Amino acid sequence: MQKKSEIYRGKSKTVYCTEKKDFLIINFRDDISANNGMTIQKFDGKGKINNKINYFIMTTLQNNGIKSHIEKQISDSEILVKNLKMIPIECVLRNRSAGSLVKRINIKEGIILNPPIFEMFLKSDIVNDPMINESYCETFGWANKHHIMTMKYLTHKINNILNKLFHDIGIILVDFKIEFGLFNNEIILGDEFSPDVARLWDITNMRKLDKDIFRQNSTGIIQAYELVANRLGITFS
């Protein structure tokens, strides 16, 4: 399938249409952003690593019964995906306290959350992606009761699969953000799963292996992302 015109440029990915309206091509760029796009930097090779990690995770999820938009990898940094009607909600799952949760309720980082916490945020840069709830979704028409129930169920199911997957390779899945969309009226996993949208800590020393390295102005982000990829068994030719 051919890449046609650009239809959306996000902070780290660009989306193109194809000659078929039901399919899109996503290009993972080397850009990384923090502070709602206020801080942006480029890291050589990041797009390629995230494309591979995302493809690996999405296909693993698919093999475990989670439908995703992924069709096939078409180059080092590009994938062909189904064209979903995206739901403008970020679903966040937390197994341990970190990030905005720590600030919101003033608790220590790293506390085990049992049961894990499910949160929803509105995808809206203008208002800084605020936390929302089911009532907001229904009132403003972002998603109906059934959509929310399904997204919550799928997010927990994805957590069960990925928690074990990462635990088996010595990584703690601290939290992650995923997005869903509709394809033929069915809720399907879209967007991406990579160290840009998850917190991953090395079990042995609690070292951060994710975008927090960039958020916290540390070094070694590419090496950390590569370590995650290598532990997942992903090879780079």
Pick 74 or 165: Cβ nearer ligand TMP: 165
List for the chain the helix, strand, coil content (%; round to 5): 30, 35, 35
Q: Which amino acid is at 107?
A: I
Pick the closest to residue 80 from 70, 89, 90 (CA basis): 70
Nearest distance in Å: CB 98, ligand TMP: 6
Pick 129 or 134: Cβ nearer ligand TMP: 129
Nearest distance in Å: CB 108, ligand TMP: 14
Pick 45 or 99: Cβ nearer ligand TMP: 99
Q: Which residues bind ligand TMP (CB under 6 A)?
A: 90, 92, 98-101, 121, 129, 175-177, 197-199
Sheet of strand 85-86, all strands in order from the earlier edge strand to the far edge? 85-86, 180-183, 186-189
* Contact present, 90 and 176 (Cβ < 8 Å): no
Nearest distance in Å: CB 23, ligand TMP: 25
Nearest distance in Å: CB 125, ligand TMP: 9
Tokens at 60, concatenated:
């693993």
Residue, CB closest to ligand TMP:
99
CB atoms within 10 A of CB 87: 22
Pick 19 or 125: Cβ nearer ligand TMP: 125
Q: Which amino acid is at 22?
A: D
Pick 69 or 177: Cβ nearer ligand TMP: 177
Residues 10, 41: Cα–Cα separation, whole Å? 14
Nearest distance in Å: CB 29, ligand TMP: 16
What sign has the CA pseudo-torsion 62, 124, 186, 173?
Answer: positive
